[in-house]
Structure 1
Amino acid sequence: MKRMLSLRDQRLKEKDRLKPKKKEKKDPSALKEREVPQHPSCLFFQYNTQLGPPYHILVDTNFINFSIKAKLDLVQSMMDCLYAKCIPCITDCVMAEIEKLGQKYRVALRIAKDPRFERLPCTHKGTYADDCLVQRVTQHKCYIVATVDRDLKRRIRKIPGVPIMYISNHRYNIERMPDDYGAPRF
């Protein structure tokens, strides 16, 4: 069995030896630096000033599917919820996700290809729609996210100033929308 020399062994030359570590004492009077995330300038307290009619609503795959199950017209129901003009936006990732679902979801695909929907091109790699929506909302705070997915809602709640639209009792509701914008409170 071979044995290795310790770096503190007496037989090693001075230049090859490991120097003992000296512990640095922290100065209690020194200022402590910490990194605080920069909040976007569009947020006034917790209210997002970039939100306003016409509302741009990022639509998720399952939101379209649940709207079909609840027999809701997407654009009309959004306008009924927000009392203003709404422009549903759909990213390439969400479109790819609907196309992957196959023949069973052809009605959802037809709704997603509606000319009233605005198509948003994606520049990132991969087609995971949840990451795409979270990334887009983090960069631009001018969107409302329409989703029924619990995990996605949880991720978006961590981002300040982004309202969430969801379906309950066969109609659309909005969460975290400031009172100033005339959003209904239920």
Structure 2
Amino acid sequence: MVTGDNDPLSDFQITEEWIYRGEGNCNVVLSLPKSRKILRIRKIDRPRTLIGWLIVWINDFLYWYCGKGIKEELRDLKFYSTVMRPLVGRRYTSEADQVFLSRKQIKIFEDSLGKYRPEFRKQKILQYSRASLFDDFAFIPKDEYEYLPFEMSQNTYAIEIKPKQGWRPLSEKHFPACLFCMHQYLKVRIH
């Protein structure tokens, strides 16, 4: 299912043609070349015990029954639309639509993605009911060609900008570094 800000939920169909674009700690990103869209699917930690799997199953049920996952994704997309997009600029960002993927659709992706995902990323699984659809900026629209200071070729590159807090407010001056730097240091120490 897909929803915009005011749109009702409607069916979302997985296309046969998709390309694994990459992933980070929180999301897997797939390209849908025919529609020139990016599908971003949230990830959660892979349960390690039977109780962990039971908790994931109950949590998935509650996400579906209460609509919690849909509400969380909508909250994130609202932040993107109202804060990040105006800061970066509408010309360089796209509208985002919320996508609801069924448990069956998630299973299809998980089964197919196994051969593409790096081993160290497989400690996380795809999260049921949390996904978003964006324009794929690896494809430059034809009406933008006239503004480019170079000739177009078949190869294009997209760059993801990930804003991080690299400064310390006065209330955090007692820390040895900014929170982002401390999180990165802790992540390196743990792994």
Q: TM-score, normalised by structure 2?
A: 0.23
Larger radius of gyration: 1
